[in-house]
Chain A
């Protein structure tokens, strides 16, 4: 039986097991929109296409499934670019369907035409223009395969309106074969043995782990490995939740706003074991002085990450979960090699314990309500069980520092691209994936305005996301740099905000306001109990800064403390 391209599209999604999409309609989507009207896939219509992609991204990060969004041609497609670039930098598996003008019109500057395949080439893992109805099933199968395999990433599929209207057969392929794409999962045994030998002879090893641990579901293996040999662990921003934040071997986050213990441990280490991390400049500081005494083992599924920023001594290309399994096996079998290891590690752990005790993360309590206090309170009230999204800036760094992430997939943040406006739609996506969980977006008064329109989506679909706005009346992180490095000239960064309580109420959500420390506990409890979406507008000390801080371009040991 012949079906339209739009019907074939919908049946392909069903065959792929997709149960939720985030979407926004337009002229070019109409065939597909109409076909979707008759199926069981849950369709969350957002208020801006950027929100659709971020929501599908939050859905993907929280659930581990591929996030799917669907938008119209032209401006609908170009509005997705920030969302796609965000997912690309953080290796999040997404498939974005954009609709396109009729094939005959492509290249003619038609109404609502944009060359979205050209535009997104550098920020997708791969992308496709579907030119014939008979290619729809194969391309969708390939798109999902590419998005979720290897180092995951976003894949865009552009579907012209005449293709979704023309008739074809529906036959979904059972398997994918792409001759030019075969990611490496299994780590090279010889290299793993070499790595274990280096670990056995190390005296001051540190595990430096990133988002790759979460993407490959390896946090259980990582915890077992760290415990088996008592190796301390530091996480990148993307790695938070990959290792329990309350574990005695946990050093906290490293880098520009990392803990003293983490940055000093890296600086004095003689062996860095990097897993699923990519030595980003915010994590390494000045690369010439990064871990100056250390050999480096680097385990990553993406060969391009290896020896890109930091020269690696023992590279292992492979899936971190798989490689950790091998490492656990070797450490269990080869007790003899690790005989002397435990004695030297005790000395190392003692040194680290002293750093932790002498220079813990802290803040001064005088001078108004402190944002750090609010984050600590959120941790205390949720017992670390909530799913936390953040925006970008001070709110993001304070959350990374003061909320202890206990489980993977509970921290949703734009680490690589640093996208303001990411957190709220991402929290909505996570709430769709986990309707019963408490999902909180920790925002700033600047960031929340970048996708505030999605409150309408949350209200429409009864998604009780809580947005805690750390309202300091500034674009705080930029203001902090101006305070420290631009003689306190606060150009562009002091922006008035609307009354967020009234905004929330106008959208049909709940609004709360907090001005004093003593109100925090009570109001947060009430807002978290409320089954409506809510804005909690917390007026914090406007001049509070994020510390410790390693100035841009400095080495990790040059930290400004409180």
Chain B
């Protein structure tokens, strides 16, 4: 199963290495990892996409929580959330295909952000399914290059991340 986890960490040197080291050392998967500062410049969010059964995900969450620099771990398993990813893709674009590409980009509400004699560079944002559908359509035209950011995620509705100190847990083993 694929899971998105957000990790709030102290914005300090070496923290990324602690997190990636935890995953590699314990044989957990990282499909994608996206790190940036939050509203509070002393805190960064890491959005990690990982795979594993429930027991593995539970271990990942607990092990992340155990790291001293980790302030909060958010598991999106049981919450409604939105997630978006951005992809930049450079495709072959000649006289015959330019029009078709433009149409597809419009349908998918993307943008052409760079043009050359032979190529378009397209920016698309969306959830995973949308990106997959777009890439499937564009692939036959010849993808020259592709970069993805990996997704970022946020809970739906009024729910926000409470930035209070880590609290001792109730002790029921939920980590």
Interface residues of A (CB under 8 A from B): 117-118, 121-122, 125-126, 129, 146, 178-188, 190-191, 298, 302-304, 306-308, 311-312, 315-318
The answer to whether A318 touches B62, judged by C-beta atoms less than 8 angstroms apart, is: no
Query: Which B residues lie within 8 Å of A182 (CB)?
Result: 165-168
Tell me the B143-175 residues at the A interface (CB within 8 Å).
165-175
> Can you list 14 A-B pairs, Cβ within 8 angstroms, ordered by A?
A179-B166, A180-B9, A180-B68, A180-B70, A180-B71, A182-B165, A182-B167, A188-B170, A190-B172, A303-B66, A303-B174, A303-B175, A307-B173, A312-B173
Query: Which A residues lie within 8 Å of B174 (CB)?
Result: 303
Q: B18 within 8 Å of A by Cβ?
A: yes
The answer to whether B59 touches A304, judged by C-beta atoms less than 8 angstroms apart, is: yes
The answer to whether B66 touches A191, judged by C-beta atoms less than 8 angstroms apart, is: no
Q: B117 within 8 Å of A by Cβ?
A: no
Give bound CA distance, A223 to B171, whole Å: 23
Instruction: Identify B58's interface contact among A126, A185, A307, CB under 8 A.
Output: A307
The answer to whether B166 touches A304, judged by C-beta atoms less than 8 angstroms apart, is: no
The answer to whether A146 touches B171, judged by C-beta atoms less than 8 angstroms apart, is: no
Instruction: Identify B68's interface contact among A181, A190, A303, A304, CB under 8 A.
Output: A181
Task: Identify which of A179, A190, A191, A303 gathers the most chain B CB atoms within 10 Å of its CB.
Answer: A303
Query: Which B residues lie within 8 Å of A317 (CB)?
Result: 169-173, 175
The answer to whether B71 touches A306, judged by C-beta atoms less than 8 angstroms apart, is: no
Tell me the B55-82 residues at the A interface (CB within 8 Å).
55, 58-59, 62-63, 65-66, 68-71
Known contacts A180-B10, A303-B169, then 17 further A-B pairs from the complex at CB < 8 Å, ordered by chain A residue: A118-B14, A118-B17, A125-B68, A179-B71, A180-B69, A180-B71, A181-B68, A182-B166, A183-B168, A184-B171, A190-B172, A191-B173, A303-B65, A304-B62, A304-B175, A317-B171, A317-B173
- State the Cβ distance, B156 to closest chain A Cβ, in Å: 26
The answer to whether A306 touches B173, judged by C-beta atoms less than 8 angstroms apart, is: yes
Give bound CA distance, A316 to B18, whole Å: 27
Give bound CA distance, A303 to B166, whole Å: 14
Interface residues of B (CB under 8 A from A): 9-10, 14, 17-18, 21-22, 25, 55, 58-59, 62-63, 65-66, 68-71, 165-175
The answer to whether A303 touches B14, judged by C-beta atoms less than 8 angstroms apart, is: no
- State the Cβ distance, B61 to closest chain A Cβ, in Å: 9
Give bound CA distance, A178 to B69, whole Å: 9
Given A121-B14, A179-B165, A181-B166: A316 touches B69 (CB 8 Å cut-off): no
Closest B residue to A299 by beta carbon equals: B171
Given A126-B68, A180-B69, A304-B66: A191 touches B172 (CB 8 Å cut-off): yes
Query: Which B residues lie within 8 Å of A186 (CB)?
Result: 168, 171
Total number of A-B contacts with CB less than 8 angstroms? Answer: 83
Give bound CA distance, A121 to B22, whole Å: 9
Given A302-B66, A303-B62, A307-B58: A315 touches B167 (CB 8 Å cut-off): no
Query: Which A residues lie within 8 Å of B9 (CB)?
Result: 180
Given A125-B68, A146-B68: A315 touches B173 (CB 8 Å cut-off): yes
- State the Cβ distance, A420 to closest chain B Cβ, in Å: 23
Query: Which B residues lie within 8 Å of A315 (CB)?
Result: 172-173
Closest 8 CB pairs of A and B: A315-B173, A188-B171, A303-B175, A317-B171, A179-B165, A184-B168, A126-B68, A180-B71
Instruction: Identify A191's interface contact among B25, B63, B165, B171, CB under 8 A.
Output: B171
Query: Which A residues lie within 8 Å of B70 (CB)?
Result: 180
- State the Cβ distance, B137 to closest chain A Cβ, in Å: 44
Give bound CA distance, A308 to B62, whole Å: 10
Query: Which B residues lie within 8 Å of A178 (CB)?
Result: 68
Closest B residue to A177 by beta carbon equals: B165
The answer to whether A307 touches B55, judged by C-beta atoms less than 8 angstroms apart, is: yes
Instruction: Identify B14's interface contact among A117, A122, A187, A188, CB under 8 A.
Output: A117
Task: Identify which of B18, B59, B167, B168 gathers the most chain A CB atoms within 10 Å of its CB.
Answer: B168
Query: Which B residues lie within 8 Å of A122 (CB)?
Result: 21-22, 25
Query: Which A residues lie within 8 Å of B14 (CB)?
Result: 117-118, 121, 129
Query: Which B residues lie within 8 Å of A126 (CB)?
Result: 68-69
- State the Cβ distance, A249 to closest chain B Cβ, in Å: 27
Query: Which B residues lie within 8 Å of A121 (CB)?
Result: 14, 17-18, 21
Task: Identify which of A304, A308, A311, A318 gathers the most chain B CB atoms within 10 Å of its CB.
Answer: A304
